[in-house]
Amino acid sequence: MNILENLYQNQPKSREFLERKIRIEGSKILLKGANGSGKSSLILNHLSKFNNFLYIDLDDIRSFGIELNNLNEFIKAKNIKALAIENLKSKIELPICDNIIISTDLNSLHIDGLNQLEILGLDYEEFILFYRKNYEARTLFSHFLIRGNLAFSPFLSEFETTAFLQKHIKASKGDLNSKILANIANFIHQPLNSFKIYKTLKTHMKLSKDKLYQNITDLEDQNLIKTISNINDNIALKRVYFSNFALKSTLSLHKDPKATIANMVFCELLKLKKEIKYSNQIDFIIPDMSYGILILPFLPSELAILKAKKLSNHCNDLGLKKVDIISNSQSQIAKFEKITYNVMPFWQWAVGLN
């Protein structure tokens, strides 16, 4: 009870809140999202609507030893109107409170009585809002590319981004997972070969295949990495992406601008809440929308259109009606085999994606 009293008497101070596209609506919420996606800011802004609340962060050392199953007596005694529990890792029995919001980074966590809400990293429009710099579009894109999409990324300087993100990963995921993620960085926008990562790490440390495979599964459950399947072959290896695209350059010295931009595009696509697939010729496919995306960042628009024309039969076989081609060249539109192809830079594509 002393821990609860101390937390109650030392609630977090209000901070400046920048609006996100996601809102907390309802009285019983389980908020899911990767570490650094902005869950805490969203929750604290929500709690500011109540004049009597209790906020518990289980990652806060001061909360060590707290008994979540003994909250009801304290909530009743203090007449608490809203309860927030952050960084929960396992199921609990819900306390009796009018308003409850719980956050977790685990996809696998489900709690009866709570409505699930997912928060993603900043999309491009949100980054611009947070960054507050009046630069032209190409310059804003380059800053987004370097900093990534975590909620605090717009406030980092360009020169501290890599060191800060590396420390963030090491502190939150530990040494082994940091090394695993550094190896995964070399597979971004490619099929993930876990056995190859195992062989690489095995030469430097004691590690079993089962341990590696379980850790990779856990990293996906924690929303740090995400995978997509081949639309024509469910047996094929899945392509892998980071939920924060800046981790590609943060964790690997191997530069692959196309892979990083593909990861940026993937992160933007997540906000559609649609299944994402790929084929050997088309980088991303949204089957529900008959929509495909090609990543050709360094190809002039004329050559990009020519490549699209060569892929028309394949796109038609996939049932696509529209294909966007992400390129740094000028915008251009063409139509082949009843399929519309739009060549455009990332910054134009991202602000028009609904």
Q: How far apart are CA 179 and CA 251, in angstroms?
A: 9
This model's pTM is above 0.85: yes
Domain boundaries, the chain: 2-118, 122-268, 274-354
Q: Which residue has the tokens 């931009």?
A: 261
Q: How far apart are CA 250 and CA 273, in angstroms?
A: 27
Contacts of 13 (CB under 8 A, 6+ apart): none
Q: How far is CA 281 from CA 104, 107, 164, 231, 263, in A?
A: 36, 30, 36, 11, 17
Q: How far apart are CA 209 and CA 228, in angstroms?
A: 22
List the one residue out of 326, 217, 200, 206 whose CA is nearest residue 252: 200
DSSP 334: E
pLDDT 10s digits, 138-173: 999 999 999 999 999 999 888 899 999 999 999 999
Instruction: Give the DSSP letter string of 128-196.
Output: HHHH-----HHHHHHHHHHH-SSTTGGGS-TTTHHHHHHHHHHHHHHHHHHHHHHHHGGGBTSB--HHH
CATH architecture label of 2-118: 3-Layer(aba) Sandwich (3.40)
Q: Show the tokens assigned to 205.
A: 């440390």
Task: Provide the residue type at 334 as one letter.
Answer: A
List the one residue out of 54, 51, 58 whose CA is nearest residue 74: 54
pLDDT 10s digits, 190-244: 999 999 999 999 999 999 999 999 999 999 999 999 999 999 887 878 999 999 9
pLDDT 10s digits, 17-71: 788 999 999 999 999 999 999 999 999 999 999 999 999 999 998 888 888 878 9
| The pLDDT of residue 329 is above 90 | no
Q: Decide if 2-118 and 122-268 have a common fold.
A: no
Fold of 122-268: Arc Repressor Mutant, subunit A (1.10.10)
List the one residue out of 227, 263, 19 whose CA is nearest residue 145: 263
Q: How far is CA 11 from CA 51, 52, 84, 276, in A?
A: 12, 10, 11, 41
